[in-house]
Structure 1
Amino acid sequence: MEVVRGIRSLPLAEEPSVATVGFFDGVHLGHQAVLRTVVRRAVERGVRSVAITFDRHPREVLSPGSEPRLLTTVERKAELIAASGIDVLVVLTFDRDFSLITAEDFVREVLVRGVHAVHAAMGANFTFGFKARGTMRTLPGLATPLGLGVETVELVELGERIVSSTSIRDALSSGDLEWPLAALGRRFVLDGEVVTGHGRGRGLGYPTANLRTWPRLLLPGQGIYAGVATHGARRYRAAIDCGTNPTFGVEPLHVESFLLDFDGDLPGEPLSIEFWSRLRDEIRYDSVDELVSAIEADVARTRRLIPDGAIP
């Protein structure tokens, strides 16, 4: 998949396309349905498939301070979109100037002139243009005179519950991994870089990898989890603490993981944490010995939940 960044990179090379637009945070089942439709329609027409997304959540510009924490980095989002078969991903900067583009100009300048779209498939709740005045009801009236076909992809429901990035964020924030697994179609993954911590884990016999994440990313609800850590091509079972280390005093919410059967140093290295199961709440212990006993139990339970051979 080709990745193109910035509105100055438009127009693309003169070749017709089937296109879609969205923030696609998490690339959940609803997003996947839209992307599959775009790829299918592009194949039917013998043209390329294009997805247009943004480098930040629109509310970061439109209503600063109200924007949600995100499920995916731009890089992870690109990987997931590529897996759907999209040919070209356009990543636009959502800034104040972009937010002022009218719905009419968005269709004409971005979709038709920018990516040469002959057909557009959008989710049913798609909005666009200044003050989100463009909707799937108004899009056909703007697109048809320009020779652009329009298709609405209905929202995906699981058990009468609509799949959405918001519902996934809410579930993760409460420590629920079941809904994200169902709605994403895969386990939630947190990407980051290992940084040097206080070294307490090593002193307790359980050295941990402290993860520094993109500040815009959502962290799961406070607690202890079992999961899998990926470092390069290697994957390790991991006991994961998403918390504040209350036994040693309150610290900012962060993620640190004890990688089972790993011996090495990781600071400065990229690491991805895949959350499989929530084990328990994070609590304050009266002594270090009590904490060590709890960690031992967490590690043992992680081994049981993720047995040898369970990691693909």
Structure 2
Amino acid sequence: MIVARTIQDIQGVIAGSCVTIGNFDGVHKGHQKLIALACERAKARDLTSVVVTFDPHPLRVLRNDRTPPFITLTEQKLELISQYGPQVCLLLEFTMDMARLSPEEFVKTYLVDGLKVKDMIIGYDYHLGKGRAGNFETLCELGGKYGFTVDRLDPVTIDNAIVSSTRIRDLVQAGHVWAVRPLLGRFYQVTGEVVHGMNRGGKLLGFPTANLKLVDELFPKPGVYAIWAEVDGAVYEGVANIGKNPTFGNDVLSVEAHLLDFSGDIYGDVIRVHFVQRIRDEKKFNGLDELKDRIAKDVELGRRILAQPEAAIKLTHPDFHRCPEVR
């Protein structure tokens, strides 16, 4: 997949395209179906398959700080989109100037003149243009004017509920990470650099932990979780604590991962943590012995959870570094 950040980067390169467009936060099952359908249609009509998305997320520009935490940051979103086969991802910078464009101005500038769109597939609730005025009917009218067809994908449902970024976000924040997997097609994951912590895990407790410098925005509810951890291309079982370590009186949110059957110096490494299932709430213990006993039980529970066939990990592009970009 080629990543272009402006229309000028691919001007004159694409003779005709099948386009899908959206924010794709989380790249969940609904998004995956949309992208796969666009790729299938492009192949059938000998067109270039293109995903159009935005950075930053439009809500971040329009609402500033009054936005929810997003499920995927830009690099991970690109990684996930690339997994589903589009030839090009046009990652447009969303600005207030863009927000002021009418639906027709946006379509004419970016889709018709820029991408030579011949076919377009949108989600059931997609809107575009100033004031979100552009909808399926608007796009059909513009398609008739500029010579492209438009299809709308019905909502994807799992357990009788629509798969949506909001639903996933609510489940993660409530700690229901096991329930998120069917909606994403993978476990919810965060990435962080291993940094020096308070040096209590190994020395005081006998359970060395990797303390993560947080880069993601969305985190599960504080507590202890069974996890998979990716380190230098290898995958390890583990348990992780999200919270403020109340036994030691901390007041800063942290993610500390104990990797089972692992030894090595990973300070400075970037690791990826996949949250499988919540084990318990975070709590304050009366002393070190009580805390150590509880951690030992957490480790045993983590092993049992991760041994279940349903807990098998699905990696997304373990060799992914960065999509090639057109500059």
Tell me the TM-score normalised to structure 2 length: 0.91
- Identity rate, percent: 38
Matches within 5 A, 1:47-196: 47-196=47-196
Range with greater deviation from structure 2 (39-48 or 8-17): 8-17
Q: Which residue of 2 aligns with 1:237?
A: 237
Instruction: Give the 3-state SS of the residue equivalent to 1:138 in structure 2.
Output: helix
Give the number of equivalent residue pairs.
Answer: 311
Range with greater deviation from structure 2 (161-170 or 256-265): 256-265
Instruction: Give the 3-state SS of the residue equivalent to 1:225 in structure 2.
Output: strand
Letter in 2 for 1:206: F
Contact 2:186 2:313 in 1 (8 A): no
Q: CA deviation at 1:209?
A: 1.0
| Higher normalized contact order (CA 8 Å, seq sep 6+, divided by chain length) | 2
Q: Which residue of 1 aligns with 2:211?
A: 210
Q: CA deviation at 1:151?
A: 0.7
Contact 2:19 2:49 in 1 (8 A): yes
Letter in 2 for 1:210: N
Q: CA deviation at 1:250?
A: 3.5
> 2:265, 2:27 → 1: CA distance?
32
> 2:125, 2:168 → 1: CA distance?
17
Instruction: Give the 3-state SS of the residue equivalent to 1:257 in structure 2.
Output: strand
Letter in 2 for 1:223: G
Range with greater deviation from structure 2 (85-94 or 3-12): 3-12
In structure 2, stretches of 5+ residues that fail to align are 315-327
Q: CA deviation at 1:8?
A: 4.6
Q: CA deviation at 1:97?
A: 1.9
**CA 1:8–1:267 in 2, change beyond 3 Å: closer, same or farther?**
farther
**CA 1:72–1:311 in 2, change beyond 3 Å: closer, same or farther?**
closer
Q: Which residue of 1 aligns with 2:22?
A: 22
> 2:241, 2:161 → 1: CA distance?
30
> 1:308, 1:167 → 2: CA distance?
25
> 1:238, 1:13 → 2: CA distance?
47
> 2:243, 2:119 → 1: CA distance?
47
Cα distance per residue 1:173-226 (max 9 Å; x no partner): 0001233111112211112222221112122211111122325x2011111000
Letter in 1 for 2:168: I
Instruction: Give the 3-state SS of the residue equivalent to 1:226 in structure 2.
Output: strand
In structure 1, stretches of 5+ residues that fail to align are none
Contact 1:57 1:67 in 2 (8 A): no
**CA 1:9–1:101 in 2, change beyond 3 Å: closer, same or farther?**
farther
Q: CA deviation at 1:266?
A: 1.5
**CA 1:116–1:213 in 2, change beyond 3 Å: closer, same or farther?**
farther
Q: CA deviation at 1:14?
A: 3.4
Contact 1:173 1:221 in 2 (8 A): yes
Instruction: Give the 3-state SS of the residue equivalent to 2:61 in structure 1.
Output: helix
